[in-house]
Structure 1
Amino acid sequence: MAALTLQASPAAADNICGRQVGGDILIKYRAMGGEGGPLGCPVTDELPTPDGRGRYNHFVGGSIYWTPETQAHPVWGVIRDKWELLGWEASKLGYPVGDELTNSDGRGKRQQFEGGTIYWHPTLSNGAHPVWGRIGEMWGQFGWESGDFGYPTSDEFRVSEIKGVMQTFSGRGSTLWWSAGFDNGDTNHPVCKGECVGYRADTNTEWVQKTEIARAIENGTISGNVDISVIPTEEGFDSADTSYDRLWEQSFSKAPYPRPWLNAEQGSSLYKQLACHARYAYTLPGWGHNGGDSWDLEGWAPDVSWDYALNPIFVVNHACNWYES
């Protein structure tokens, strides 16, 4: 009697288009309209996944994957193509944990997997791309695809220079990056002696070529100190001290100001550090620019008075880096 009851339950397999579809996969398939829905007819029987953990059916219009923990979810279109390219459930993404969703812009799509989320937009993403790990965490702090960085336009790619990975995004032409720590004895980066994360953008304004923000990872979270490097143009070295507001705006016109991590007092300190660098960035004959080719702003530096920040008597001592003085 128990066996007969099991066979008659909704979990029993059905023969659909000559293929066997059963269990929670069958329930999901029926909920989506069955043969008349977007998946159409199955092209395989229900099969176990190679890792033995889940089961799946392929259909004309996509696939449904199931595990006891993630339940049954369809995967189709360009998101399925990307997932397949990465290695299906054996990839870093693992199994889908939700159905495909439409983003708040009404055009883009996303689907969450155990190890990350694949995003796609018909015009902004340059295909479908996964976002995960520390880059995904930082990207989310700025509002995901509707924030400053927009959609991912590439997968992560390894960069030996920083001992980590980078990923490009549509918003402002920014590149986000993660590093295991890229100090190598020749550099003395204030926050990337250990694991760190950050972003950069080619600003290409009148006074600023590029801005890069780095953030330390401490105790497993994106926290600790913020370091900002502003790389001026030649005109910036010569004239940026004529308007500190314009210089500030240009510095963060492409690489967004790290507002999620800094309070007003820290912002005031950063502004004064930038003003100090611009004021005293004269050229030393035979030596290049006073203070070097980049203006480094330290998020942990205390706020100080304008007199202390710009008075040449004090600048001789603190050199626009008063956290060290």
Structure 2
Amino acid sequence: MTTKLRLVVLLRNTFLSGALAFTALTAQASPAAADENICGHQVGGDILAKYQSIGGQGGPLGCPTSDELPTPDGRGRYNTFDGGSIYWTAATGAHPVWGAIRDKWAALGWEAGKLGYPAGDELTNPDGQGKRQQFENGTMYWHPTLSNGAHAVWGRIGELWGEYGWEGGEFGYPTSDEYADADVKGVRQNFSARHISLFWSPGMGGTNGTCIGECVGYEGTTNVPWVKQTKVWKALHNGDIDVFVYPTAAGFDDADTNYDTLWNQAWDAVPYPKGLSASQGSSMYKQLACHSRYAYEWPDGSHVTGDSWDLESWRPDVSWDKALNPLSVVFHQCNWT
């Protein structure tokens, strides 16, 4: 091969190699072409895919009102739209947030708040009216008539609420955010069913029975003849349950005439605690009977048994004679061992 021919072959091979390299570079860069300009704004990647899956411009979000932007913490990306936002992180994926849930999430600090990023799309609850959306650290709930706006449920209160059936259970929808409560040295949250509130305490100390250490509980008010309020406390370290039944004036005077009716009225305001054994329930029934039987009134108007009747799950199930015999009651005062 002549020197001139070798030079032609070398130049041709060099050109082909460069062309192939350019083609490869172009292929690697092609995902950027997936970005679209919609209503004058750039939307791309997983955010674009989510946007298109819920109807694009014809869906609930409408037109984008921003390009894709990084979140301040550097973890995620987002676009804003006429009808809400879509947020994305590698861990959670892309999810839209809109309406009352988005407004509450914004009030709580967006993704930098306690809830973190959305971890799921908004869902309709089994009742067909309420909505919920899962976030990294809790869930937001909303109902058009029952929730008094959108409210987040999380932590120990959320766990207790879930044990009783979430929004379809004994407590209903949250009607408030968590708020500080000095009485329990922790936080409380209100729910829609039967004027119930749930609480969490890191520990009340002193002589607070189950709540010397970390505990959760719930309480509710009612208007039945013999009971005006019932409170249930549960110790988290061992599951012990303490129930405080607050009698009405009629309850102090008349409740010892029918223990079954009194027992049923004690649970009119709140659900019967989950996890109690038959033996524990029997013991607490007898404790209630004992308190009502000997709720004598002092000259100053107070009662021998105090303002509330305390039922403790850890006390043994004793005989009726030990529970109610006056000679026994003198010693155990309805708090037998």
The bucket for the TM-score relative to the shorter chain is over 0.9
Q: Say if 1:146 and 1:294 are closer, same or farther in 2 by CA, change over 3 A.
A: same
1:231/1:294 contact within 8 Å kept: yes
Q: CA RMSD in A?
A: 1.4
| Pairing partner for 2:221 from 202, 206, 212 | 202
Q: Say if 1:23 and 1:321 are closer, same or farther in 2 by CA, change over 3 A.
A: same
| Pairing partner for 1:252 from 246, 267, 275 | 267
What is the rounded CA distance, in whole Å, between the counterparts of 2:204 and 2:223 in structure 1? 26
1:11/1:23 contact within 8 Å kept: no
1:6/1:12 contact within 8 Å kept: no
| Higher Rg | 2
CA offsets 1:145-165 (integer angstroms, 9 cap, x no match): 000100000001111232111
Give the match for residue 180 of structure 1. 202
Higher helix share: 2
| Pairing partner for 1:266 from 280, 300, 303 | 280
Amino acid at match of 1:73: H
CA offsets 1:127-185 (integer angstroms, 9 cap, x no match): 000000111100000000000100000001111232111111001110111111123x5
Give the match for residue 295 of structure 1. 309
Give the match for residue 242 of structure 1. 257
Q: CA deviation at 1:4?
A: 2.5
Amino acid at match of 1:207: W
1:10/1:27 contact within 8 Å kept: no
Matched length: 315
Gaps of 5+ in 2: 1-22
1:203/1:251 contact within 8 Å kept: no
Give the match for residue 226 of structure 1. 241
Extract structure 1 runs of 4+ deviating beyond 4 A.
Answer: none
SS of the residue corresponding to residue 212 of structure 2 reads coil
What is the rounded CA distance, in whole Å, between the counterparts of 1:3 and 1:313 in structure 2? 95
SS of the residue corresponding to residue 250 of structure 1 reads helix
SS of the residue corresponding to residue 224 of structure 1 reads coil
What is the rounded CA distance, in whole Å, between the counterparts of 2:172 and 2:40 in structure 1? 44
Give the match for residue 319 of structure 1. 333
Amino acid at match of 2:194: R
Q: Does 1:76 align with 2:98?
A: yes
Q: TM-score, normalised by structure 2?
A: 0.90
Aligned pairs for 1:88-103 within 5 A: 88-103=110-125
SS of the residue corresponding to residue 268 of structure 2 reads coil
Give the match for residue 231 of structure 2. 212
CA offsets 1:221-243 (integer angstroms, 9 cap, x no match): xx421000011111111100011
CA offsets 1:268-322 (integer angstroms, 9 cap, x no match): 1111110110011111334721121110000111111112111112111211111
Q: Does 1:308 align with 2:318?
A: no
